[in-house]
Amino acid sequence: MRILGKSRSKNGRSRTEMVRLSQAARRKRLEIKTITVEVDEKTHNKIKKIASEKQTTLQNLLSSTLKTITQSSTTDKDSKKLDRPWDVFVSSPRISKTKLLTHVSLFSGCGGFDLGFHHAGFKTIFANDIDPDACLTYRKNIGDIFDEDIRTIKIPKFSQRPDILTAGFPCQPFSNAGSRKGTKDDRGTLYQTALNFVRNLKPRCVVFENVRGLLSFKIGEKLLIQEICEKLDKLGYHVIFSLIDASQHNVPQKRLRVFIVGIEKSNAIGQFSFPQPIERNDLSLRHTILDLNESVLNQNELMQLNPQALHIGSMVPEGGSWKDIPYKKLPDRLKRISDNIERYRWPKFYRRFHRDEIAGTITAAFKPENAGVWHPIEKRIFSVREIARIQTFPDWFCFEGRTIKSKYQQIGNAVPPRLAYEIALQIKAVLEGKNLRSGLEFLTFDQFAGAGKPLKVSDRGVIFSEEKTLQKNKKIPV
């Protein structure tokens, strides 16, 4: 007959002692100190409730709260050392000094492109967008804007031609997540309107931005990207384009976008190259949004979801998706998808990024099912301010609009201001005559078109030229 007693290991220690020693070894290895806090039962129960609502442990809740308190009490000098992505935007263009370089902005939206270019040394002398809510935000934070249809607006005249024209023409016609109707969509021909502005204003430089789908879209047998590059080439520009991952350029977001840059064919202007990728370890959601409080502009604004979406989202653990929800708790529609998941290409519905991950792409649609818009540790989606931070808008930038949904759309449509700033610095250097291509390698357009596979972020820039003297399958020396 065996008498059960306390479980002990081979060395005679109880399980409790072993756990205690293991925790002590972990604290020593990670240089963690412990703090003992005594509270009454009522307070303890409240803390447990908050931890449950935030889907975290008591230890993690108290640790993150104490860390936030200590960070908020740092000196201004220490705060500057953090160099958060939006820190470069110290003030509104409305109250800043006069800039020497001039900027024309088409499809301006709420002003992401323009905010970045302003702080790099450009003055926006014309801006246009058709969205009245985006124009409200633009006027509040940046300056004057014409809220008219760009296809009917009169092209402005200036005493001197502008230094730069930027245009983030609508992406939905070319987006894999959008209509994909291309030029059959009324918005799909707006790139032609942008080219018409270039033809009339003759800016020294041009920057177009759009979704990755633009690279594979065809007009007849010709790629649309080739059509745009040929037009710019004939208008007198050296053209280069690239697929850019914003997270490699000081933006806390995995966001892939195509940028097309045209530089005037002139000996007085240097050669353009896209900014070099950088590595940062402070772009996670933990570093981006977890220190926000209700006093920050637009932080209390949340888009209302239907009860079922909220219920499903609340069951997804941090770092997980709908696939982590027990099958029996799924609604019938998701059960059908789960039963035949290969047919549906393994979708990641209801993605909740971990606090130590970089956020996914913020889109204008902002659908809680198809986008990773769930707060990492709270049972809700991101607030307006939280997605603004993910897009690198500064906290003083106030979003206006008739509805909260409109504010989400404005932010999702925007070019991240910090990415625009990084590109604007490159443009400014080129206008000063600097050669930014020294020691770098680029692809020819023939290499890109003949590869038969999508352009990758690691491919760097693709230099377009109509000259047939360029050898195929050979990188351009610079």
Catalytic residue set: 171
**Phi, psi at residue 350, to the nearest 5°?**
50, 50
Whole-number Å distance between alpha carbons of 243 and 260: 9
The amino acid sitting at 14 is S
List all residues 6 or more positions away from 38 whose beta carbon is below 8 Å from its beta carbon.
none
- Using CA atoms, how far residue 304 sits from 131, 172, 217, 300, 384, in Å, is 22, 24, 35, 12, 12
Residue with tokens 């030029």: 183
Q: Residues 268, 233: contact at Cβ < 8 Å? A: no
Contact between residue 159 and residue 144 where contact means Cβ atoms under 8 Å apart: no
Strand partners, 262: 206, 239
Q: Please answer whether residues 174 and 210 qualify as being in contact, where contact means their C-beta atoms are separated by less than 8 angstroms.
A: yes
Closest CA to 467 of 215, 260, 238, 204: 238
Q: Which tokens belong to 210?
A: 């759009």
Find, among 129, 97, 96, the residue nearest to 112 by Cα.
129
Cα(219)–Cα(217) distance, integer angstroms: 7
Q: Are 140 and 297 in contact (CB under 8 A)?
A: no
Give helix 132-141 / helix 404-413 axis angle, nearest 10°: 80
Count other C-beta atoms under 10 Å from residue 334's C-beta. Answer: 19
